[in-house]
Structure 1
Amino acid sequence: MTPSPAVGIEAAAVLLPEHRDRAEAAVEAGRMTPRQAHEVGHRELPASRDLSAPDMAAAAADEALRRARVDGKELDTVCHAWMYYQGHDLWSPAHYIAHRVGAHRAVPFGVQQVCNGGAAAIDLVGARLAARAGERDREAGAGAAVWGLSTTGDRFSGPGFDRWASDYGVGYGDGGTALVLRSPVGPQTPLAVLAMATVAAPELEAMHRGSDAFAEAARDLRPRVDMRATKRDYLRRHGGEGFARVNEESIVGVTEEALQRAGLEAADGRIRRALLPRFGRKTLEGSWIPLLRERLRADLVDVGADTGHLGAGDTPAGVADLLEGDRLEPGEVALVYSAGAGFTWSCLVLQAPQR
């Protein structure tokens, strides 16, 4: 995506539950070994005791809309992305969130691109807003902004999911995220979307399917989501060299494509930070950090040390970090990365506009 008219991010919010699931307790309970705890690198993860995934997303949406000073009825589009179970078997959480925030004139969409869903939602909402703003300009000249909302929400609760033991190299944290987007960019919009790139390797989908037969219902084959089992099966049949090669090519390729779309060189001094996916220590140090350090002058930031992997929420949570923490100076640029099963890799290029 290289949106025209331009798309901006007006506000962001993240809701993380107060309760924490500690790695030490997980080791004591036999959910993972001390070595696995070291490889993941998280001391604790946010764990919801009562709020559902869509409720966390809706709460984040309320806060983001408040910060943007936008009413729900002004929204044109609502897009919700998720990775894991949303609380009902056959139901649209995107419509629920639209209902909760009063977006009764909006069109709700749901995105299931697993861990990369939050990035995909931003891409889809941004493209739709730019198209709608362009339609308005052609029909009646430059007019008011077109507004959109992108949310994510995931709760990795037992017994169906073990946030420490259902996957390799990743600890899963609960939380909801929300972004308020607009097109065109406004005079006070804090971040402009310069570009977004996404690459995929569908041939790797079997890594999360293994040799399992297609089941009749969720968890018919196993009582708990077990991505370790399907990955072991895939690696036993195919080896790990192919995945390692495609992963490296995709991290490099999505970076180059995003920068090219944004009109930037990798060595451009305006690129201040690159926010890494919220994966575990071993995963980041084994591929992401060395590959990006070779190519970028920007600071590489592990934003997930205290949250773990937020399911579909890594990219929007990263955007929120840019708005709430060490903000970009005018003209500075940040890259926000995410990746997920399938496999899919995304890079979002954001800039603090010159005033």
Structure 2
Amino acid sequence: MRLDSPLGLSATAWYPDGLQTTEEAVAAGDIDARTARELGYTSLPVSEDIASPDMAVEAANRLFTLSGARADALSLVLHASVHHQGHDAWSAPHYIAHRIGADRAVPIGLLQQCNGGAIGIELAASRLQGDPVAGPALVTTADRFLMPSWHRWRSDYGMAAGDAATAVLVHRTGSAAEPGSAHAFTPDLLLHSLATRTASELEVMHRGDDELNATPMGHSPMVDVRRTKRAFIKAYGVDFFVKTAADRIRAVVEECLADAGLTGDDPRLHYAVIPRLGAKAMNEAYIPPLKDVTSAEVLDLGRATGHVGAGDLNASLADLARSDLLRPGAHALVLNGGGGFTFTAAVVSKRRPPAIRTARPDPYRFT
């Protein structure tokens, strides 16, 4: 998406106090030592007592405090998730909007698997470009992965799942933000472009050879993506996924950089930030096509969080916004992918030093 002018992004992430280290998971038999090494995580955040929508409310309220934004000025509340949100036949986005006081906003739920938060930002940007009087849009994500429905270490290959919520505010900047109005505040990041490419032929990876059933959890008592991926590999082979994903990743990164007015070796582009999947999966599927397109340093911000459901890209934006990783004026490309499959890339730059620096572990850099 080529933007008429850069949009402002303000972002934060919320993590629970609970934590399971990888060493604890190995000792408990949740994961074997070899798989733990291949994943490369140090720990996963665990939310035992706070439901996912309430996690999103916590993240949103923290963002309002940091940014100075007002909930009653929002035009949209977009909420993305992967797993159960606490109730059935019920709207978590409306609950979140009501709890934060965004009573003028239109709440929308997004079921885009792990790319939901990224698509939320794209939809928010589209709304602001298409409606000159629309107020800022809030994108939240929240997921927690608890037994018996989801085993955070063993429900999927190539990743382990951490509990977290994110909140990203998408808004206009400069004269377009109407200084003095409820819409005017300084962003943490500038959004220069977004791009999305799909590979819907890969939806079968998360369906396998299962028939479509009539009730939730009808195929197994626990979410078991390993089972459907084994069926996919048996039918299509690993190379089909790797080649298809590589094609889309190269295309989405090229498009996003071009729309931002950057080349792959532009000195302004400091980092290429990858999703929070396991290290082996990143090295096999994401990093090779990414390095085909850009020489920017590959940056992984998820070693202490794991894969945070629908919020990987949004959590990385929060880390860039709330730390000194990027100096003012420096750019980063943030890449993400999600089952279905959909791949999104965003180019952002740092606007100003963060209001509050979030204590995070040293980022894990791929070389």
User: Structure 1 residue 299: deviation in Å?
Assistant: 1.7
- Residue 182 of structure 1 is aligned with which of 171, 180, 184? 171
Where 2:136 maps in the other structure, the secondary structure is strand
Question: Which residue of 2 is the match for residue 204 of structure 1?
Answer: 202
Question: Which residue of 2 is the match for residue 114 of structure 1?
Answer: 113
CA distance in 2 between partners of 1:41 and 1:330 (Å): 30
1:129·1:146 contact (CA, 8 Å) conserved in 2? yes
Does residue 1:170 correspond to 2:159, yes or no?
Answer: yes
1:65-99 Cα deviation digits (max 9, x unpaired) = 11111121111111000111101111111111110
Structure 2 regions of 5+ residues with no counterpart? 178-184, 353-367
User: Structure 1 residue 351: deviation in Å?
Assistant: 2.0
User: Structure 1 residue 341: deviation in Å?
Assistant: 0.5
2:80·2:142 contact (CA, 8 Å) conserved in 1? yes
User: Structure 1 residue 35: deviation in Å?
Assistant: 1.3
1:176-209 Cα deviation digits (max 9, x unpaired) = 0001121245583332211101111001101100
Kindly report which structure 2 residues correspond to 1:263-274, keeping only aligned pairs within 5 A, or say none: 263-274=261-272
Question: Which residue of 1 is the match for residue 85 of structure 2?
Answer: 86
Does residue 1:300 correspond to 2:298, yes or no?
Answer: yes
Question: Which residue of 2 is the match for residue 259 of structure 1?
Answer: 257
Where 2:348 maps in the other structure, the secondary structure is strand
Question: Which residue of 2 is the match for residue 338 of structure 1?
Answer: 336
CA distance in 1 between partners of 2:110 and 2:312 (Å): 14
Give the TM-score, by structure 2 length. Answer: 0.90
CA distance in 1 between partners of 2:15 and 2:241 (Å): 32
User: Structure 1 residue 22: deviation in Å?
Assistant: 2.8
CA distance in 2 between partners of 1:223 and 1:36 (Å): 23
2:254·2:293 contact (CA, 8 Å) conserved in 1? no
CA distance in 2 between partners of 1:273 and 1:237 (Å): 37
Structure 1 regions of 5+ residues with no counterpart? 137-144
CA distance in 2 between partners of 1:2 and 1:52 (Å): 37
Q: Which amino acid is 2:348 matched to?
A: L
CA distance in 2 between partners of 1:188 and 1:74 (Å): 15
Does residue 1:4 correspond to 2:27, yes or no?
Answer: no
Does residue 1:234 correspond to 2:232, yes or no?
Answer: yes
Does residue 1:131 correspond to 2:120, yes or no?
Answer: no
Q: Which amino acid is 2:263 matched to?
A: E
Does residue 1:328 correspond to 2:317, yes or no?
Answer: no
Change (3 A) 1:330 1:29: closer
CA distance in 2 between partners of 1:74 and 1:215 (Å): 42
1:269·1:297 contact (CA, 8 Å) conserved in 2? no
Give the TM-score, by structure 1 length. Answer: 0.92
CA distance in 2 between partners of 1:343 and 1:333 (Å): 26
User: Structure 1 residue 100: deviation in Å?
Assistant: 0.9
Question: Which residue of 2 is the match for residue 139 of structure 1?
Answer: none
Where 1:3 maps in the other structure, the secondary structure is strand
* Percentage of matched positions with identical amino acids: 41
CA RMSD of aligned residues (A): 1.8
Change (3 A) 1:259 1:223: same
**Matched residue count:** 344
Q: Which amino acid is 2:151 matched to?
A: D
2:60·2:140 contact (CA, 8 Å) conserved in 1? yes
Greater mean alpha carbon deviation, residues 342-351 or residues 224-233: 342-351
Where 1:217 maps in the other structure, the secondary structure is coil
1:130·1:184 contact (CA, 8 Å) conserved in 2? no
